[in-house]
Amino acid sequence: MSKPTTLEIPVKGMDCTECTRHVQQAISALPGITSVNVLLAAEKAIVQLNPDQVDLPAIRKAVTGAGDYTVPEMVEAKTPSPRTLSMAAFNRRVGLLLGGVFAVILSIVILGEWLGLFDILNTLVPFPIGVVIVLVGGWPVFRNVIRATFRRQVISHTLMTLGVFAALAVGQWVTAAIVVIFMRVGDYVENFTTEGARRAVKELTALAPQTARVERDGLEIELPVTQVNIGEIVIVRPGEKIPVDGEVISGQATIDQAAITGESMPVEAAAGSHVFAAAIARLGSLRVQTRQVGLDTTFGRVVKMVEEAEANRADVQRFADKFSAYYLPIVAGIALLTFLISRDPLATAAVLVVACSCSIALATPVAMLASIGQSARRGLLIKGGKYLETLTQVDVVLVDKTGTLTLGKPQITDIIPLNGLTSAEVLALTASAERFSEHPLAEAVRVAAAGQKLSLHEPRDFEAVPGLGVRATINGSRVTVGNRRLIPAAKSLPTAHQLEAQGKTLLFVACDDEPAAVLAAADTVRSDIPEALAALKEQGVEHVELLTGDNERTAAALAQKLGIRYQANLLPENKIEVVKAYQAKGHTVMMIGDGVNDAPALAQADIGIAMGAAGTDIAIEAAHIALMREDWMLVPELFAIARRTMGIVKMNLAMTAVYNVAGLTLAAFGFLPPVLAAAAQSLPDLGIMANSARLLRQEEGFRGKSKVQP
């Protein structure tokens, strides 16, 4: 008997979570299938099977039989595709889409009903043509409802479909067409936001190094990363991405691995150091012995986790779905009882028409669209109404450090002069020596000097020492700037130990081999963080925790300053494990981050929030909400907006329920003919529109308490 085999099968045509369920159920029904995991964003299914019982053609047949889905003949290679849509452009498109949808709804409901356009259209267009229009326009929806019904599932479109056919039964094809329009618009918005998740996966793949320079038979050979063998020596030159996970055999370099670990400061790599694929060697060269390649590297696991987290994240069912699931059996029962007692098909049709008014379709999406559209204009990109619902349940907030709590760039915080020099003299001397250095700390020194408008000297005999610092001649003096290894005498300075205990990175300065100063640099905390954390507590969120790839000392110093919990030395896989652990305990988790290393946790969390203005596009698209400006006060504001929106939604549903109970009663007893039932549908529609429009009256800003108007 053959061993179980795992296949990754591309599936095209999926555009919603219901599609993934259809595909999963179709494949699972085949004999020999052990497990199926369908990934919407990655457009594929990961299938574990027994090859003796099932093969790819059988799976392809099952997938195509489940709907408009296809399995390509050849599995597509993961070739990075160029970015064709910037995040700013994506944001503009979302704003235009939401605004356009809202305008369409206003036009259809208000103008159509008030001006009597529906009655005119119903008279001018022959009924058979109207029926064809409804059937053609709503066929994708009707097909999904039919398939769901055969699987004994009730979805939000089930109730709407009954309303469509009930309206057609009494000659109201325009009413039926309106219901179809709202269903299709909702589907289009969901499809549009799904593309963001797909781009996140594609862009992650594009960041991975594609080639490696390998030592073979005494020669350096450049070949695809997939052809590198474990144990081979890879050469990495200045400015290049490290193509594999491995151990440094020789050489020294300054490594920027923020994309993997989230560390704000570059690290110095030398013999014995472990380095990650996709990290960048800013200065120096390395010879690295390969330990992991491709999908087995830390970066490869990041890509895989983003795919799986998007699929495994628990779906928050829409309010309309929940409402329909309970409401549909009641309506069907009343309609059946009406027919059995009265034997009147018109009264039965009237029950279905009045019960399936457009208000059910409008109750949730109109409020969501109003809130999302208003939020988008203020720099809050919310990728779906279901995330507003989930926000009201969040009780744990996990936060990345670099670029999220902090600015993401080192700044000079302390200057300790020695040997009679002033702080300005030390800063000018250090900036002059660092004038040609590309190190991030050198940039911090130059920025500090520019801020004080200091005059710099032209360095002579400049020398960059990879992993250690720089040397240069300034006004005849030999100036050295670097770490402890470059300036051994600095080890005895007590001030240095105090600064390091605060989590700061130190630069030592020596003139003619004599210690001249100590400079401290740190990644500065955003100024609005304390106020935002206090506002979160006002919103009822007590548990805030820092997750960072930085060392224990740096994390502890920051957490103590802000009064929050922390976990340090975390890789992306560790962060996602923390999220899953809290979810397993029943918590609803929000993750806030900005980098590639945060993407898996952002996708896995119930709510992932990307600091958009400073963050990577990958983090923005893997997250569910993006803050498009660097304002931490938008986070507590989100909670206020979500609670306000869900309150409006519940009120809309309550109004719909009360109206429908009254309408059902009148229709069941024959007091409401089908034509009047169809005409009366505008009443709850207009009430919902007016109630939802209150969400447009939200003031910008959140300073200490909610500015959302009642």
Enumerate the active-site residues: 400
559 vs 570: CA distance, rounded Å: 15
Contact at 8 Å (CB) between 37 and 95? no
Q: How far apart are CA 560 and CA 531, in angstroms?
A: 16
Name the phi and psi angles at 277, rounded to 5: -60, 145
Q: Which two tokens stand for residue 180?
A: 């179809």
Q: What CA–CA distance (Å, rounded) separates 113 from 684?
A: 12
CB atoms within 10 A of CB 224: 12
Q: Confirm if 483 and 506 have CB atoms less than 8 A apart.
A: yes
Distance of alpha carbon 266 from alpha carbon 437, whole angstroms: 14
Q: How far apart are CA 414 and CA 410, in angstroms?
A: 12
Burial class from Cβ neighbours inside 10 Å (0-12, 13-18, 19+) for residue 457 reads middle
75 within 8 A of 43, measured Cβ to Cβ: no
Instruction: Give phi and psi for 232, each to the nearest 5.
Output: -70, 155
Query: Distance (Å, rounded) from C-alpha 103 to C-alpha 105?
Result: 5
Using CA atoms, how far apart are residues 692 and 652, in angstroms rounded to an integer? 8
3-state DSSP percent of the chain in helix, strand and coil, to 5: 50, 20, 30
How many angstroms from the chain centroid is the CA of residue 641? 19
Residue 625 Cα distances to 215, 279, 303, 395, 610, angstroms: 45, 27, 20, 17, 6
Alpha helices in 454-544, H assignment, sequence order: 494-501, 529-538
Please give the structure tokens belonging to residue 454: 């200091």
Q: Could you tell me the strand order of the sheet in which 505-511 lies?
A: 406-417, 514-525, 505-511, 477-482, 469-474, 460-465
Q: What is the phi-psi region of residue 168: left when phi exceeds 0, alpha when psi lies from -120 to 50, beta otherwise?
A: alpha
Residue 172: φ, ψ to 5°: -100, 75
The number of CA neighbours under 13 Å toward the Cβ of 71 is 20
Q: Give every CB contact of residue 266 below 8 A, 6+ residues apart in sequence.
A: 254, 255, 256, 257, 282, 439, 440
